[in-house]
Structure 1
Amino acid sequence: MTFFLSLATTLSWADIYKYVDESGNVTFTNTPIKGAVRIMSEPAAPRRSDSGNSSANSTRTPTNKVSVPSPVNFPKVDAATQKSRDSNRKQILSEELASEQILLGNAKKALQEADANRSADEKANPKMYLDRIGRLRETIVMHEKNVAALQAELSRVR
């Protein structure tokens, strides 16, 4: 009896329910709620017992994370579609990188020209000038970080 109860509980964890409240807020949950509609029901994957050989039961990635295979009915994307998506992603990232590099160049130029463009108020109040220089440096750092992040992301694109 407890076997069937635990089996039923395990199967209910795989069910997904959609609930819309009076305000129109949508909630997705794996527990049944009164008025919720089951939108996905998937049997839980059978559990394997550890036989002492953990490499037979899971795939380990270089970062030692366990890689779990996709469910049987998980939507698949054909190679041509994935290649197209990867190409679009690479193009978008390249365009963003070019834009960030331009913004970084503009920020560096603005910092170089800051001394020549010192206003009368900034000459009278050096703190105003230092504040402006600080903001320009923060902008440069932000754009440098964005460029580095985009370059790292581009290096991961297939």
Structure 2
Amino acid sequence: MRLICLSLGLLLSLSALADIYKSVDGSGHVTYSSTPSKGAKRLDLAPPVARQTQSSRAVSPSSFPRVDGQTQRERDDMRRRILEQERATELSLLSEARAKTNNQADVVLHQKNIEALNSELARLK
């Protein structure tokens, strides 16, 4: 039984390696075939090359602008303050939307915005 399964698997894999030909007739109809015909072009169906995985920290080019640690901390702090202000604004807008009983779409929108801002704030160092 194992031999039959192995043989069947090998036969199927060999058929996957067959050449494919594409031909276009005078009417513009495209035909694909495993056998060559007059005017048909062989298609190159090589498997895609696997991308090399990069390490979790990609190396920046030497020409890439760099900032010192203090400047980066200041930028991060400013970003955090802006995100917190946006979250406070969204919380206020959410309260207003909840007060209006016919505005469920706005409530959902503000809830999603708050979730996104909370997620972004959680990613900050």
Provide TM-score, normalisation by structure 1.
0.44
Q: How many residues align?
A: 74
The CA distance in 1 between the partners of 2:89 and 2:79, in whole Å, is 15
**Identity rate, percent:** 38
Give runs of ≥4 in structure 1 deviating > 3 Å. Answer: none
The CA distance in 1 between the partners of 2:122 and 2:69, in whole Å, is 20
The CA distance in 2 between the partners of 1:145 and 1:86, in whole Å, is 23
Provide TM-score, normalisation by structure 2.
0.55
Which blocks of at least 5 consecutive residues in structure 1 are unaligned? Answer: 1-53, 62-66, 112-132
The CA distance in 1 between the partners of 2:112 and 2:58, in whole Å, is 33
RMSD: 1.6
Q: What amino acid does structure 1 have at the position aligned with 2:85? A: E
Instruction: Show CA shifts across 1:29-63 (max 9, x none).
Output: xxxxxxxxxxxxxxxxxxxxxxxxx78xx41x3xx
64, 73, 80: which one pairs with 1:83? 73
Instruction: Show CA shifts across 1:50-89 (max 9, x none).
Output: xxxx78xx41x3xxxxx53100121111000000000000
The CA distance in 2 between the partners of 1:72 and 1:108, in whole Å, is 52
The CA distance in 2 between the partners of 1:81 and 1:69, in whole Å, is 20
Q: What amino acid does structure 2 have at the position aligned with 1:150? A: L
In the TM superposition, what is the alpha-carbon distance from 1:110 to its structure 2 partner? 1.4
The CA distance in 2 between the partners of 1:81 and 1:142, in whole Å, is 35
Computing the radius of gyration over CA atoms, which structure comes out larger, 1 or 2? Answer: 2
- The residue number in structure 1 matching 2:89 is 99
- The residue number in structure 2 matching 1:143 is 110
